[in-house]
Structure 1
Amino acid sequence: MKFSRASLVAIFLAFTVVGVTHASDPDILSDFVVPAGQNSTHLDGSFFTFTGFREVGKNNLTGQTAAKVTKAAMAEFPALNGLGVSMAVLQFPAGGVNPPHTHPRASELLYLMSGCLLVGVVDTTGKLFTQTLYGGDLFVFPKGLLHFQMNEDINNKAVAISAFGSASAGTVTFPSALFGSGITDDVLAKSFKTDVQTVETLKAALKPKP
């Protein structure tokens, strides 16, 4: 029996949601969590619906170097509170990168919809595991480990879907966490065995453009 790409995505999502429901977040003692100040009798189907992915693919990635990440986590989709799942759509411009980062509260299961991605994950011994993914491939990033993704195709974009075993996986992006969080130049210079001028150059490059 042959499955279409859309069917495979649906199967992936269904099994992912079932598989990661008990992966990280504590169990709740009710069917779902009603937001403070709301009455469950006044909720309808819209509470369980997220529409934030409707615009995915409509934006222009030309000239960008960083991946565009559209999240459906608890902050964006309150119905996920207590359910232990969340998702994100990652759009990579040609040659674009999702820089080294971690998710402290969840593992990530990435499904590459289209394109070509170089992915990598570093374990606690410092060993790097890399793989080149093509449309239809899956890759798992264990909870809390440093990882990255980069579009190896310099002419075409890539699109991926990520599922997380937490309603709020959290993200710590290393370039901004190290050089944009306020850690002193002296600490960074000594840690990276470089000089303050180099550190200041890196900090300046990471500042948001006006």
Structure 2
Amino acid sequence: MASKTFAIKFFSLLISSFAIMKMATAGDPDILSDFVIPPNVTADGNFFTFTGMRSVVRGGIPTAFKVSKAALTEFPALNGQSVSIAVLEFPANTTNPPHIHPRSAELLFLIDGTLQVGFVDTTNKLFTQTLQIGDMFVFPKGLVHFQYNVAAQASAIAVSAFGSANAGTVSIPNTLFNTSIDDNVLALSFKTDVATIQHLKDGLAPKP
């Protein structure tokens, strides 16, 4: 619960990062009005309010890695505003697997615990860092990156800001092994056999 209190105290600091992200790389087209209202929706204070993070700041740490988003799908008022956030909750020894955000950079702010983070550039150079509470790390737009809570017992919480209302997420493991890419293509690409590829796919298959 102490970590939740800490998260609340630092939430205001994250809001200021929106401006930074928008200047760095806005991923959304400009709009020609103050804001965008969906059809049959009333423009009042409720429309511009998102309450979906209440469960995050009031609840306990989940048993598995969890992402709580305030993006275009969850918060329609963000349409055209080129901002969104996500709260990342890491129980001990959990990871946010390698992934890509095709439409925005990501500015991650660690508010509790420690995290190992990193990204790979287009020359296949790996940039890594171990973050402490209060540290920020930027993942450039469109590059493969990850976060990992290596602690055996302690949890970690981070908030990520994006310069797009719809940054998008492409999970590398799921994209490769949980879609319909032919096993032979994957086996040849990874210089292994089809049995190994099928084993990897079985591990990523949705649990019933």
User: Counterpart in 2 of 1:11?
Assistant: 13
Q: Which segments of 5 or more consecutive residues in structure 1 lack a partner in the other structure? A: none
Deviation at 1:92, TM superposition (A): 0.3
Q: Give the corresponding residue for 1:96.
A: 94
Distance 2:92 2:9 in 1: 27
Structure 1 residue 6: Cα displacement: 5.5
2:72 to 74, 78, 83: 74
SS of the equivalent of 2:47 reads helix
**Alignment partner of 1:34 is 2:32:** no
Find the aligned partners of 2:202 and 2:75 in 1 and give their Cα distance.
34
Per the TM alignment, residue 181 of structure 1 is displaced from its structure 2 partner at its CA by 1.1
Aligned partner of 2:180: which letter? Answer: G
Distance in 2 between the 1:60 and 1:205 partners?
A: 24
Aligned counterparts of 1:6 and 1:90: Cα–Cα separation in 2: 14
Q: Return the letter of the residue paired with 2:121.
A: D
- Aligned residue in 2 for 1:123: 121
- Alpha-carbon distance, 1:11 to partner: 2.9
Distance (Å, rounded) in 1 between the aligned partners of 2:130 and 2:113: 11
For 1:134, give the aligned amino acid: Q
Deviation by residue 1:86-118 (Cα, 9 ceiling, x = unmatched):
000000010010000000000000000000100
Aligned to 1:147: 145
Runs of 5+ unmatched residues, structure 2: 1-5
Q: How many residues align structurally? A: 200
The 2-side partners of 1:168 and 1:83 are apart by 10
Residues 30-69 of structure 1 mapped to structure 2, 5 A cutoff:
30-38=33-41, 42-56=42-56, 58-62=59-63, 64=64, 67-69=65-67
Q: Distance in 2 between matches of 1:5 and 1:60?
A: 12
CA RMSD of aligned residues (A): 1.6
2:3 maps to none
Identity of aligned pairs, percent? 57
Structure-2-length-normalised TM-score: 0.91
TM-score (norm 1): 0.90
